[in-house]
Amino acid sequence: MAVTDHVDLNGFMEGVKKRNPHQPEFVQAVQEVAEDIFEFMEDKEEYHSQQILRRIAEPDRVVSFRVCWEDDAGNIRVQRGWRVQNNNAIGPYKGGIRFHPSVTESVLKFLAFEQTFKNALTGLPMGGGKGGSNFNPKGKSVREIMRFCQSFMTELYRHIGADIDVPAGDIGVGGREIGFMFGQYKRITNNFTGVLTGKGLEWGGSLIRTEATGYGAVYFLENMLATKGENLEGKTAVISGSGNVATHAAEKIVQLGGKVLTLSDSGGFIHDPDGIDQEKIDWVKTHKTHRRGRIEEYVEAFPKATFHAGKTPWGVPCDVALPCATQNELLGEDAKTLVANGCRAVSEGANMPTDLDGVHTFKAAKILYAPGKASNAGGVAVSGLEMSQNSERRSWKEEELQQMLKDIMSGIHNSCIRYGDQGGGYIDYVKGANIAGFKKVADAMLAFGVV
Ligand code: NDP
Ligand code: 2IT
């Protein structure tokens, strides 16, 4: 047997930090996974000798490119675009595109790394990738957004393909932007193919893709509560964000008998003690998505609510919490507050919304805590089903898709139990998700040899 010098967790992380200077989000995501994987690998010589984690934490490639576009006033604007293709051991690269001024190479590398494990957990054949730009869609006209999307795709098209890399939406990229990008892809390549997911229903999209991430996060929450003999009936929920994931998570909580107390955006959060019912959720969807408004205007429409400028909602006492806005929006102190206020379950709709301190706090308190790579996988899962429908050139029925989404979320929950059950009624979902996702990708990589 080959004798290998193993580095320990600290040594491994030192190397990751050295190789990725000024990339704190990427280092954070790797650390969260490595903490669990090092323990799991302890007696698995092959994973060590084949340097599997080191290889997964080095993207297959990072493509960076210039995106030029002309604004309505005739000014030439220059943005940076990226596609990070992290790992395609189990299927074509797959993952969303984010347009937000906070986008950096570090943010997209963390997202592509997380996506690799998440996609493996769905059980569908998808590798991990992510892309985006520091373009800020806020305050831009529809024609400016169209020109930007076209310019972005004019470079991206050469790196993607239905069997190569299949992007979708994320922050700042919804159905409209996917439409503009798909239109440009088709125009350049003359190829009508399932190269993007989240498409419109008339041109190859799948039913329930829009709702899938938020609904899936709530199905996962229900699965977790069921392990304690509980459900959402009568429970209070605190949700952050007011975009695609947040509004659909809120909708499913209301459908299952829960009461949603908060929503937020980058300006602050609104607290509605009467509960945010379906009518109010519809108002938020129209106001935020179609009119691109601010959440603070909610209190004008529903005067019993209050707006808290520049704050996150974690101080509002609740039974369950769903961070659905962005990374590092729930810090160690917030986690302590939630636990002290009696919060029993946290299901992440966003990617890495909880910082490492917060993760450690939830783990130490042994509450039901699902990391995004498990609980928000419903979106990419239905994207995978959209790819299957495109390959078949058919569209499946809504009931079939609803059932498949529920089954996939239960399957992920079972995988988390399999590798995360700590005994005494405590399931470490972070550990379970990390190990189950890692194992699938790692075993595929072993089969391929050193490539
Ligand atoms: P949207 O663009 O629809 O909504 C994003 C929401 O988050 C908005 O309310 C936005 O507020 C808020 N937000 C964004 N950035 C910040 C910030 N820096 N600080 C505070 N609030 C912020 O995006 P999605 O709902 O699609 O995505 C939300 C999260 O869910 C992301 O982490 C994404 O990666 C993750 N996710 C999305 C999936 C999908 O299918 N769409 C799938 C899985 C995960 P404002 O309007 O002020 O910008
Ligand atoms: O973070 C995510 O999983 C997404 N933004 C969805 C990715 C996808 O390909 O549907």
- Beta-carbon contacts of 315 under 8 Å, excluding residues fewer than 6 positions away, are 334, 337, 341
Is 397 a member of any domain?
no
Q: Looking at the structure, do residues 42 and 84 belong to the same domain, yes or no?
A: no
Q: Looking at the structure, do residues 76 and 190 belong to the same domain, yes or no?
A: yes
Burial 387-403 (b: 16+ CB within 10 A, else e): bebbeeeeebeeeebbe
Q: Looking at the structure, do residues 174 and 268 belong to the same domain, yes or no?
A: no
Is 31 a member of any domain?
yes
Select from 197, 228, 260 the last residue of a domain.
Answer: 197
Is 28 a member of any domain?
yes
Is 282 a member of any domain?
yes
Q: What is the CATH number of the domain that holds 145?
A: 3.40.50.10860
Within a 13 Å sphere around the CA of 113, how many CA atoms are in the beta-carbon half?
Answer: 26
Q: What is the pLDDT of residues 403-447, one digit of tens each?
A: 999 999 999 999 999 999 999 999 999 999 999 999 999 999 999
Pocket test for ligand 2, best of 88, 170, 373 (most atoms within 8 A of CB): 170
Q: Looking at the structure, do residues 167 and 265 belong to the same domain, yes or no?
A: no
8-state DSSP, 125: S
Question: What are the catalytic residues?
Answer: 130
- Report the length, in residues, of the chain: 451
Of 412, 400, 61, which Cα lies nearest the Cα of 219? 412
Q: What is the pLDDT of residues 293-333, one digit of tens each?
A: 999 999 999 999 999 999 999 999 999 999 999 999 999 99
Is the pLDDT at 2 greater than 70, yes or no? Answer: no
Share of the chain above pLDDT 90, in %: 98
pLDDT band for position 5 (50/70/90)? low
Is 222 a member of any domain?
yes
Q: Looking at the structure, do residues 92 and 116 belong to the same domain, yes or no?
A: yes
Domain assignment of residue 47, given as a range: 9-56
d(CA 186, CA 154): 11
Q: Looking at the structure, do residues 147 and 260 belong to the same domain, yes or no?
A: no
Is the pLDDT at 93 greater than 90, yes or no? Answer: yes
Q: Looking at the structure, do residues 362 and 220 belong to the same domain, yes or no?
A: yes
Helices (H), 256-355: 278-284, 298-301, 332-340
Residues 216-229 have a mean pLDDT of: 98
d(CA 342, CA 147): 48
d(CA 182, CA 204): 11
d(CA 193, CA 182): 9
Distances 348 to 176, 316, 353, 359 between C-alpha atoms, Å:
25, 17, 7, 11
In the reported structure, the alpha carbon of residue 395 is separated from the centroid of ligand 1 by a whole-number distance in angstroms of: 28
Q: Looking at the structure, do residues 246 and 316 belong to the same domain, yes or no?
A: yes
- Whole-prediction pTM value? 0.97
Is the pLDDT at 3 greater than 60, yes or no? Answer: no
Is 336 a member of any domain?
yes
Is the pLDDT at 65 greater than 90, yes or no? Answer: yes
Give residue ranges with CB within 6 A of ligand 1. Answer: 100, 102, 169-172, 213, 241-246, 265-267, 324-326, 329, 349-351, 376, 379
Number of structural domains (the chain) is: 3
Is the pLDDT at 14 greater than 90, yes or no? Answer: yes
Is the pLDDT at 132 greater than 70, yes or no? Answer: yes
Q: Looking at the structure, do residues 175 and 219 belong to the same domain, yes or no?
A: no
Is the pLDDT at 290 greater than 90, yes or no? Answer: no
Is 65 a member of any domain?
yes
Q: Looking at the structure, do residues 183 and 68 belong to the same domain, yes or no?
A: yes
Q: How many CB atoms lie within 10 A of CB 255?
A: 12
